[in-house]
């Protein structure tokens, strides 16, 4: 298992066919203000690839975009809504089709309100992940080893959790509603970017 750092694009041919786990690191939580700094991606084979973008980047990244835009590749996320919006805004690509482990968790782990990645990895896989670097400076000229390992850990376990959550969704009869949620996520991300991040447009109440 290794973590590879690349500048501005993913090298061609480094990913095996099939689903890929995807995550992003940004300068903050306001997508239009806080630039996209890193995209993490893994094919589940044991290696994680980090693609870092410099300030002023044009986010061309043709190899990475080809993977993200491939309709035959399922993309696995934890809280896909944020990552989809960041990549749509900065890279101009909607990285679908989608499976979101956070949504799946909320649909099947109704016995808890703890749906963070750390909690999910602990329960489903019996492993620990550190969130210590979550709020660090992802736009720094050099990423520390701790930052690189943190970024990699965000995609390291998604394939294994996907397998378990698919089984639980089927067991509880919630596969169809989960898929409907996943299919809506690109539209939800675009609503965020268009200025409706918090308002529920399906609500009866006016705003």
- Whether 206 maps to a domain, the answer reads no
- Whether 203 maps to a domain, the answer reads no
For tokens 């050099």, the residue is: 142
Length of the chain: 207
Secondary structure string (H, E, C) spanning 127-141:
CCCCCCCCCCCCCCC
Tell me the two tokens of residue 73. 């590749």
State the residue range of the domain holding 89: 3-194
- Whether 57 maps to a domain, the answer reads yes
Task: Domain count for the chain, please give it.
Answer: 1
Angle between the N-to-C axes of helices 101-108 and 158-171, in degrees from 0 to 180, rounded to the nearest 10: 30
* pLDDT computed for residue 133 by the predictor: 61
Q: Which helix (H) or strand (E) holds 55?
A: none
- Whether 75 maps to a domain, the answer reads yes
- Whether 88 maps to a domain, the answer reads yes
- Whether 41 maps to a domain, the answer reads yes
Tens of pLDDT, residues 65-76 = 999 999 999 999
- Whether 20 maps to a domain, the answer reads yes
Looking from the CA of 123 toward its CB, the CA atoms found within 13 Å total 15
Tell me the two tokens of residue 181. 């949620």
Q: How far apart are the first and last CA of the chain?
A: 50
Q: Reduced to 3 states, what is the DSSP secondary structure of residue 23?
A: strand
- Please list the ranges in the chain whose pLDDT falls under 50: none
Please state the separation of Cα 49 from the chain's center in Å: 13
- Whether 90 maps to a domain, the answer reads yes
29: domain CATH number is 3.30.420.10
């Amino acid at each position: 298992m290794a973590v590879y750092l690349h500048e501005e694009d993913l090298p061609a041919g480094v990913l095996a066919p099939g689903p890929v786990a995807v995550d992003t690191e940004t300068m903050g939580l306001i997508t239009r203000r806080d630039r996209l700094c890193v995209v993490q991606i893994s094919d589940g084979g044991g290696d994680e690839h980090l693609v870092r973008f410099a300030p002023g980047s044009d986010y061309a990244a043709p190899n990475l975009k080809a993977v993200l835009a491939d309709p035959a590749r399922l993309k696995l996320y934890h809280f896909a809504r944020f990552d989809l919006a960041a990549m749509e805004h900065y890279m101009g690509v909607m990285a679908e089709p989608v499976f979101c482990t956070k949504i799946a968790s909320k649909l099947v782990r109704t016995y808890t309100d703890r749906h963070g990645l750390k909690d999910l990895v602990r329960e489903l896989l019996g492993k620990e992940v550190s969130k210590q670097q979550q709020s660090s400076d992802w736009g720094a000229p050099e990423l520390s080893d701790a930052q690189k390992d943190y970024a990699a850990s965000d995609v390291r376990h998604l394939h294994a959790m996907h397998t378990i959550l698919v089984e639980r969704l089927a067991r509880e009869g919630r596969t169809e509603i989960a898929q409907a949620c996943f299919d809506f996520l690109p539209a939800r991300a675009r609503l965020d970017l268009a200025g409706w991040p918090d308002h529920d447009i399906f609500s009866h109440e006016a705003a």
